[in-house]
């Protein structure tokens, strides 16, 4: 009788141990997440650009460079292009009409600011999108941009727009 009590106690202890292990495993496995699920980062609030569309509307001489040391020479080349200027038009929805990379037809693009203080010109969407161009500098007379897309940036380089005559 004593051995049966001892066997029963050992069996109960064994069952308790096994249940403890299983319950521990159950608490680490759950169909509903116990930790917060990573969500998409919040959309950055829209920041206005520091450049107004009307500041860009007009006729521009256009040239490009890859090497920053070539910028002064490229600006002179852009001035020479005023014989056949690139026209930046006013859009109907408050943007500017320009070409996207590799697009034959110009379209209305938005001026977009970013929380980092940069300005972009591109289609609707968050600033710095693949089709955007970053405004590297603008003083009212000379605009320098570079496409965000690495392939387009390599092909087109830093685009230098020099205003032809007085502002439109």
Give the tens place of pLDDT for each residue, 36-80.
444 445 555 789 999 999 999 999 999 999 999 999 999 999 999
- To the question of pTM greater than 0.85 for the whole model, the response is no
Q: Within 13 Å of residue 158, how many CA atoms lie on the same side as its CB?
A: 20
Q: What was the pLDDT predicted at 46?
A: 80
pLDDT value at residue 167: 58
The reported pLDDT for the residue numbered 91 is 97
Stretches where the chain sits below pLDDT 50 are 6, 10-11, 13-14, 16-23, 25-32, 34-40, 168
Please tell me the predicted confidence (pLDDT) of residue 4. Answer: 54
């Amino acid at each position: 009788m004593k051995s049966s009590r001892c066997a029963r106690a050992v069996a109960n202890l064994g069952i308790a141990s096994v249940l403890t292990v299983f319950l521990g495993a159950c608490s680490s496995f759950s169909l509903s997440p116990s930790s917060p699920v990573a969500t998409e980062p919040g959309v950055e609030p829209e920041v206005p650009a520091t450049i107004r569309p009307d500041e860009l509307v007009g006729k521009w001489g256009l040239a490009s460079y890859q090497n920053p040391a070539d910028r002064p020479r490229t600006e002179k080349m852009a001035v020479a292009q005023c014989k056949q200027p690139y026209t930046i038009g006013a859009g109907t929805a408050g943007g500017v009409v320009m070409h996207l990379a590799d697009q034959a037809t110009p379209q209305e693009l938005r001026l977009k600011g970013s929380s980092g203080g940069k300005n972009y010109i591109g289609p609707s969407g968050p600033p710095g999108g693949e089709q955007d161009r970053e405004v590297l500098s603008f003083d009212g007379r000379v605009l320098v941009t570079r496409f965000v897309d690495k392939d387009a940036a390599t092909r087109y380089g830093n685009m230098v727009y020099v205003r032809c005559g007085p502002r439109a």
